């Protein structure tokens, strides 16, 4: 470990190692899939892709965590740490926050900023952090970052023990928040959720390493000419904290009044006194959630008309709830007209209907999967208006009771059911 720390490792070294291990995983995958009939260029492209995807997403976070642990072990052994380890700290925590947020948003289907009162669709989940308490969460994270820079980038000769302990307590707050975040979003239902643990693990390692380093630096300092404040309270604190062995416990004790001061200040800016707790409990769908949201509404994402019904109410004008494939869907006039038109095609020209259905299933599904915004859904709704009018014209020509046919769409009933 000493030799490793003495090396001025470029930042690209762990990146290259991750890429190569990602390529190795790609080769293993290719062996399992079989490579018969594939061109050399296709295989190389595949390996480059897996090297980037697997390497950066799966291997790189683990390598950074192992490196952090190695630096921590060196700090415990009271070895001198090179400057690049501080840059590594910033990179590790920064990427952990980004990766964790992306995972929760993409894989976990979290809709950040959407609180539990709102009705979602399909597999979407509400925000894991109560939006009205987001300011408190961000401020705690900022305090932790400020504490890290305060302790690590200001020479220890220019800091009093009390200021050092205050910075460490700020780091404690940030680390504690990362643990609570992990408790909120990590349920370990699938193996990939284990990566969510890397954020609090790295925060714990970095905090412990920083405390160890500063304790060692303080013990190696000459304390003969230390300037002590004339204030009796601060003087007493300095005397107690002159022994660095007390710093971990002192930082833990100082963390609570620091949190109280932060809450008091945030109350002046409109945050609730219990926003630290509400940030996690005023949510739905997560481990610490105390609210139960309404059941999600199902949109059949294979069909453009159904997706268009998920736009803004003032534009798409939803009428009611209907049933499709055993799931509840929002139904609007356009969707009913399109389905009624297809029904007529199926009854009058079954062969032509199969051709149209095949074409729509082939090209409609990929386009529908791209629609993830209400504004895009609004555009699809408006774009289909001319088709809706054409469908309506055909329905009125072919059906004796056109409006009855339209009204019965997605009800699971026919006119015979009402005739009884």
Q: What is the pLDDT of residues 250-264, one digit of tens each?
A: 999 999 999 999 999
The average confidence (pLDDT) of the chain is: 84
Whether 284 maps to a domain, the answer reads yes
The answer, yes or no, to whether residue 170 has pLDDT greater than 60, is: yes
Spatial contact of 62 and 171, defined as CB atoms under 8 Å apart = no
Residues 38, 41, 43, 45, Cα dihedral to 10°:
-140
In terms of domains, do 169 and 270 share one?
Answer: yes
In this predicted model, what pLDDT tens digit does every residue of 268-325 receive, in sequence order? 999 999 999 999 999 999 999 999 887 776 666 555 566 666 678 888 888 888 877 6
Give the confidence band of 53 by pLDDT, cuts at 50, 70, 90.
confident
| Of 246 and 362, the one with more pLDDT | 246
- Report the pLDDT averaged over residues 230-242: 71
Distance, first Cα to last Cα, the chain: 84
| Of 323 and 99, the one with more pLDDT | 99
The total of structural domains in the chain comes to: 3
Residues 256, 164, 77, 1, Cα dihedral to 10°:
100
In this predicted model, what pLDDT tens digit does every residue of 183-201 receive, in sequence order? 999 988 888 899 999 999 9
* Sequence-separated (6 or more) residues with CB below 8 Å from residue 227: none
| Of 56 and 179, the one with more pLDDT | 179
pLDDT for residue 46: 81
In this predicted model, what pLDDT tens digit does every residue of 3-31 receive, in sequence order? 444 444 556 788 888 999 989 988 888 78
pLDDT for residue 4: 46
Whether 55 maps to a domain, the answer reads yes
The answer, yes or no, to whether residue 90 has pLDDT greater than 80, is: yes
In terms of domains, do 71 and 115 share one?
Answer: no
CA distance 110 to 124: 6
Give, in order, the Cα–Cα distances in Å from 236 to each of 70, 112, 244, 248, 386. Answer: 37, 47, 15, 18, 81
Percent of the chain with pLDDT over 70: 85
Whether 117 maps to a domain, the answer reads yes
pLDDT for residue 312: 82
Last residue of a domain, one of 294, 319, 343: 294
CA distance 259 to 336: 56
Give the confidence band of 416 by pLDDT, cuts at 50, 70, 90.
low
In terms of domains, do 47 and 102 share one?
Answer: no
pLDDT for residue 188: 86
pLDDT for residue 196: 94
In terms of domains, do 146 and 74 share one?
Answer: no
pLDDT for residue 84: 85
The answer, yes or no, to whether residue 231 has pLDDT greater than 80, is: no
pLDDT for residue 25: 87
Length of the chain: 420
* Sequence-separated (6 or more) residues with CB below 8 Å from residue 232: none
In terms of domains, do 230 and 331 share one?
Answer: no
The answer, yes or no, to whether residue 414 has pLDDT greater than 80, is: no
Last residue of a domain, one of 14, 44, 79: 79
pLDDT for residue 227: 52
The answer, yes or no, to whether residue 80 has pLDDT greater than 50, is: yes
CA distance 280 to 137: 10
| Of 207 and 160, the one with more pLDDT | 207
Last residue of a domain, one of 245, 261, 294: 294
Whether 299 maps to a domain, the answer reads no
In terms of domains, do 414 and 375 share one?
Answer: yes
In terms of domains, do 317 and 261 share one?
Answer: no
Whether 330 maps to a domain, the answer reads yes
pLDDT for residue 322: 81
In terms of domains, do 99 and 190 share one?
Answer: yes
Give the confidence band of 44 by pLDDT, cuts at 50, 70, 90.
confident
- Report the pLDDT averaged over residues 389-395: 91
In terms of domains, do 27 and 115 share one?
Answer: no
In terms of domains, do 257 and 309 share one?
Answer: no
pLDDT for residue 36: 60
Q: How many CA atoms lie within 13 A of 66 on its CB side?
A: 10
CA distance 319 to 325: 19
Give the confidence band of 225 by pLDDT, cuts at 50, 70, 90.
very low
Q: Which of 37-46, 84-93, 148-157, 347-356 has the lowest mean pLDDT?
A: 37-46
pLDDT for residue 228: 54
Whether 190 maps to a domain, the answer reads yes
Q: Is 362 left (phi over 0), alpha (psi -120 to 50) or beta?
A: alpha
pLDDT for residue 7: 45
Query: 41: exposed, middle or buried (C-beta count within 10 Å: 0-12, 13-18, 19+)?
Result: exposed
Can you give the residue range of the structural domain that contains 32?
1-79
In terms of domains, do 175 and 128 share one?
Answer: yes
- Report the pLDDT averaged over residues 112-141: 90
In terms of domains, do 227 and 376 share one?
Answer: no
The answer, yes or no, to whether residue 242 has pLDDT greater than 70, is: yes
């Amino acid at each position: 470990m000493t030799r490793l720390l003495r090396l001025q490792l470029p930042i690209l070294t762990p990146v290259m190692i991750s890429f190569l291990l990602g390529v190795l995983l790609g080769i293993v995958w290719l062996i399992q899939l079989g490579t018969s009939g594939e061109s050399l260029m296709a295989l190389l492209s595949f390996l480059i892709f897996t090297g980037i995807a697997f390497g950066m997403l799966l291997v790189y976070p683990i390598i950074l965590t192992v490196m952090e642990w190695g630096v921590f072990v060196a700090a415990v052994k009271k070895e001198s740490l090179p400057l690049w380890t501080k840059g590594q700290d910033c990179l590790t925590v920064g990427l952990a926050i980004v990766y964790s947020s992306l995972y929760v948003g993409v894989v976990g289907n979290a809709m950040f900023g959407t609180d539990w009162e709102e009705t979602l669709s399909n597999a979407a989940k509400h925000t894991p952090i109560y939006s009205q308490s987001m300011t408190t969460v961000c401020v705690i994270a900022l305090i932790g970052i400020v504490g890290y820079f305060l302790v690590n980038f200001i020479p220890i000769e220019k800091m009093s023990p009390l200021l050092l302990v205050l910075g460490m307590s700020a780091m404690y707050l940030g680390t504690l928040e990362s643990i609570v975040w992990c408790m909120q979003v990590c349920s370990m239902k699938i193996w990939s959720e284990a990566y969510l643990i890397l954020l609090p693990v790295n925060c714990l390692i970095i905090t412990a390493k920083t405390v160890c380093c500063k304790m060692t630096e303080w013990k190696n300092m000459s304390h003969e000419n230390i300037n002590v404040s004339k204030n009796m309270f601060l003087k007493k604190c300095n005397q107690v904290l002159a022994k660095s062995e007390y710093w971990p416990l002192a930082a833990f004790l100082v963390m609570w009044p620091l949190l109280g001061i932060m809450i008091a200040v945030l109350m002046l800016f409109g945050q609730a006194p219990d926003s630290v707790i509400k940030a996690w409990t005023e949510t739905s769908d997560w481990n610490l959630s105390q609210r139960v949201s309404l059941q999600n509404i199902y949109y059949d994402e294979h069909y453009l008309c159904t997706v268009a019904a998920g736009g803004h109410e003032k534009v798409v004008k939803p009428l009611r709830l209907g049933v499709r494939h055993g799931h509840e869907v929002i139904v609007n006039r356009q969707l009913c007209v399109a389905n009624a038109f297809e029904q007529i095609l199926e009854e009058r020209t079954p062969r032509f209907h199969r051709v149209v259905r095949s074409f729509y299933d082939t090209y409609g599904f990929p386009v529908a999967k791209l629609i993830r915004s209400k504004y895009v859904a609004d555009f699809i709704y408006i774009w289909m208006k001319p088709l809706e009018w054409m469908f309506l014209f055909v329905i009125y020509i072919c059906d004796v009771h056109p409006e009855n046919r339209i009204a019965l769409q997605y009800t699971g009933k026919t006119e015979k059911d009402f005739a009884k």
